[in-house]
Amino acid sequence: MEIEYKYTSHNEQDTMELAQNMESEKFPNMVICLKGELGSGKTVFVKGFAQSLGIDENITSPTFNLVKEYHSGEMPLYHMDVYRLEDGDDGTIGLTDYFSKGGVTIIEWSDIIKDSLPDERLEIKFKVIDEEMRVLILTPYGEAYEDLLSAVL
């Protein structure tokens, strides 16, 4: 049975803090899947996570190159944006290699490649309430991610 957790983010700072708290519980081959409409806070989450990892580069959505790799932090961060992939696009073949490279993979628009996602992962759905407020629905798949959410929420 799927467990869902709800987190209300009142502004970008809340979203970044949640990401930073998750970063403090990170582990190799962690996969975080982000879903939500444009402007719902997915990239803000990635920025908070990256900042907490010690990555000082500017984090932008990797819309045109699918994956951006950051190696300047405590652990590699692989930031994916699969928005431009079509369903069943063979572009996912190389993407799945990242799930076992020992870093943290965060995927924006992950529902587009749902058939390629690892069984164990964390899904976060961003729901826009108003200009500032978001409700995040967090669904852990696997014990490591259940433990992560128990520690953070």
pLDDT at residue 121 is higher than 70: yes
For residues 33 and 111, what is the distance between their CA atoms, to the nearest angstrom?
8
Q: What percentage of the chain exceeds 90 in pLDDT?
A: 78
| Domain topology for 5-152 | Rossmann fold (3.40.50)
pLDDT digits (tens, 9 = 90+) for 49-100: 999 999 988 888 776 778 999 999 999 999 999 888 865 555 556 889 999 9
> Quick one: pLDDT at residue 88?
54
Query: Which secondary structure element, helix H or strand E, spans residue 92, and what is its range?
Result: helix 92-95
> Quick one: pLDDT at residue 64?
72
CA 25 to mean position of chain CA atoms: 14
Do strands 5-9 and 121-128 pair parallel, antiparallel, or not at all (unpaired)?
unpaired
Average per-residue pLDDT for the chain: 92
> Quick one: pLDDT at residue 93?
64
Q: Where are the domains of the chain?
A: 5-152
* Range in 25-39, 58-72, 99-113 with the lowest mean pLDDT: 58-72
> Quick one: pLDDT at residue 35?
97
Instruction: Indicate whether this model's pTM tops 0.85.
Output: yes
